[in-house]
A and B are shown apart, each in its own frame.
Chain A
């Protein structure tokens, strides 16, 4: 992708002009995106993404630039300009020769998407379309989106690191729209993985596609959720978005290093009730948020964040690690070469407890059962978060009763973590796209069924 002598010249140019550390991130990525509406292919777009991001440090000051022009003059000039802008005055030590560390690839791919015919991808979409259309007459539209990407990265830095990685990802998104008496309700399900096309042999595509149609046709017939504070039981899988928003973002060094997180300075302290343990694990084989190395070239490893309610670790990248005097936890991630990396989540989830989900429901006198959740957001400095319930039911006297729609749940993360009082044994993960300082990245959320003793449910009175 790039001649190492160009990378070396770029890094040296940065050092000569005042930087004390520099990094070159080169990316070549192929993408395909196909969308099908009601059984017809509406569009297909293929892309080639290619460029380099150069990052320089002088102490804790950093500068970043990217370019599509990877010729030596353009690269060394950009590096020099960035280094000068930090105002640093490093002695200009030259870099050692590049060494390639041995990195174990846990993410084997068998059917590379670039080598599979478009028609085979379309067949998978047709299966999904059939499944989604076989549920209810209330389903009036089915949109299937198929995505794949093959991202090749090479990272060089002034420590003498040279490392390559290939990340293959594929995802199928099924969105169903149901309509009844003038009301439209949409629901979606988007399984994805760090595999090639073999991913679609690991589950029943047709059956998976029935799920959003079932949800939409149930929700379109439901009344609005009630408004107010109540106990909420949150189902496994995508329910884990509550941890992602309520806690995950505020454990990223990006906020912690500035003191702009409600969890800053709380290592070793109790931050959650003792039934809660949580982990960020980028090493899960072929996981949606997995990779062999992070986007700073560090080999990934699991990171236990909370153990029985005690805060054990943050998610730390190199630059914030310098600011916090901590080691990187291999959490430096970025959307692509146009963003500098920063600390981000990978596959982040609450670990399994020992109650059966039915036991959690039957232990709840009254409340909301959030069976399926949409996305959310958070302000890390205040902990205020929100996320949307896409499939909800009322719980009455320990039983799930009528479906309700349209509720957003809100709370403050550090308060909510203390209010998780029951944790189930049915851990599951689901796939999401997470947006933050370094762009949109694939990330798994997950949890077993949990109960929060009280949350504000944003329904209607």
Chain B
């Protein structure tokens, strides 16, 4: 937490130098990682970082600065830079600060269990996980990563309007990467697990999942270009939503005309089988939080309900413009930079079918198990994408051979409208930094390019 003396010093200096309202954001984090390679601990890291940022506001214009040095010289520099940046600003948005509800939460998303773990627990876990991955299948030739990590984050936001919020959270995860070979082809597998408490992490299961993922991919070939019925596996559907939903539902992007959807809610934009929520309080998600990075309490909201467009995501300035309440979706990356509008946990309502049932219903098509190049091949503003992909051929209602060297091209709204069935197999993603909780979905008639 930030001490009161420093807080008062910064706020009063900012006010003396011309800021009408000022806000301090303070974050301190501890992170620990450890990895095994070839039966030994290969590397570990253990770090603490802390920093603070200042937002100043005058006549509706904001300025930002942050620092990792907290001495007299740099505190003054912080204030001076925020003020100069504020003077340069001529945005047409009216900036303001949040006052109101005081939230002090150090237990909802914090167990403290990870910090108590002896290092030997972590060492044993990653070593055993690597061993299990190797032993799971004779075709595993390499386990480039067998790792465990945890984090503890503490966030304080306080401002000249009386806001004083604090929360603390922690969480841990396992990551395994495997390489399988049949002498002709190499294929990688990736698996992870995550949990609020260490005893819920399943390291042997995770290792076997990665091993089976890479081995099953062997014998892959491309397919003939054409339109296919496809299944986007739960994790792949999650990656697509994490790429498109933030821009699509950001009130700022919608207000600027840079989203593929418009302001008007109650339009049908998806198949009635599809419902998507932002659910910020799910205990199992490592992204969950009680308030956003402007101090506004977070809350559950529907983005798409049975195919109908519902709420947008708002921060303070965009809510003011549309004359609505902010939705608690102003997020930033640590203490650096400023907030961006984004969902916290993108959660898709599960359907009734297992993945096997979806495969059977598809009859013939492709099960997509990974997509690559989301940062370059996807265009969130238009919704269009063309991505490298891998998966499995579906023939006669069964998963058959492995598929590689294909691309999948479409746009997200067409995908939403073409959802024909939703799976029951929801999976929590790693926080990257958003979490998705998504099932597999069956989608009709998607363009696939291959070598034929």
Contact = CB atoms under 8 A, between A and B. Distances in A.
Given A67-B49, A122-B88, A227-B447, A46 B407 contact: no
Contact of B179 (A50, A225, A260): A260
A63 B84 contact: no
A63 B43 contact: yes
B356 interface: no
Contacts of A50: 67-69
Interface in A81-98: 81-82, 85-87
3 smallest beta-carbon distances between A and B, as pairs: A458-B407, A227-B449, A386-B388
Contacts of B337: 33, 45, 47
A334 to B, nearest CB: 12
A47 B41 contact: no
A19 to B, nearest CB: 13
A15 interface: no
A407 B379 CA distance: 11
Given A179-B257, A338-B49, 5 more contacts: A45-B85, A47-B66, A78-B46, A258-B142, A382-B185
Interface residues on chain A, size class: 35 or more
A41 B87 CA distance: 10
B449 A459 contact: yes
Contacts of B297: none
B90 A41 contact: yes
Interface residues of B, number: 80
Interface of A: 28, 33-34, 37, 40-51, 60-69, 78, 81-82, 85-87, 118-119, 122, 140-141, 177, 179, 183-186, 224-225, 227-229, 255, 258-260, 262, 338, 340, 374-377, 379, 381-382, 384-388, 406-408, 410-412, 456-461
A41 B91 contact: yes
A85 B86 CA distance: 46
A68 B49 CA distance: 6
- Dominant secondary structure of chain A at its interface with chain B: strand
B69 to A, nearest CB: 4
Contacts of B407: 227, 386, 408, 410, 456-458
A66 B47 contact: yes
A387 B376 contact: yes
Interface stretch (B130-138, B221-229, B342-350, B417-425): B221-229
Interface in B68-83: 68-69, 74, 77-78, 81-82
B405 A456 contact: yes
B249 to A, nearest CB: 16
B269 to A, nearest CB: 14
B240 interface: no
B386 A458 contact: yes
Contacts of A229: 450-452
Given A48-B68, A260-B142, A456-B449, A61 B43 contact: yes
Interface stretch (B9-17, B57-65, B100-108, B202-210): B57-65
A202 B35 CA distance: 47
Given A340-B45, A377-B375, A227 B225 contact: yes
A65 B46 contact: yes
Contacts of A87: 41
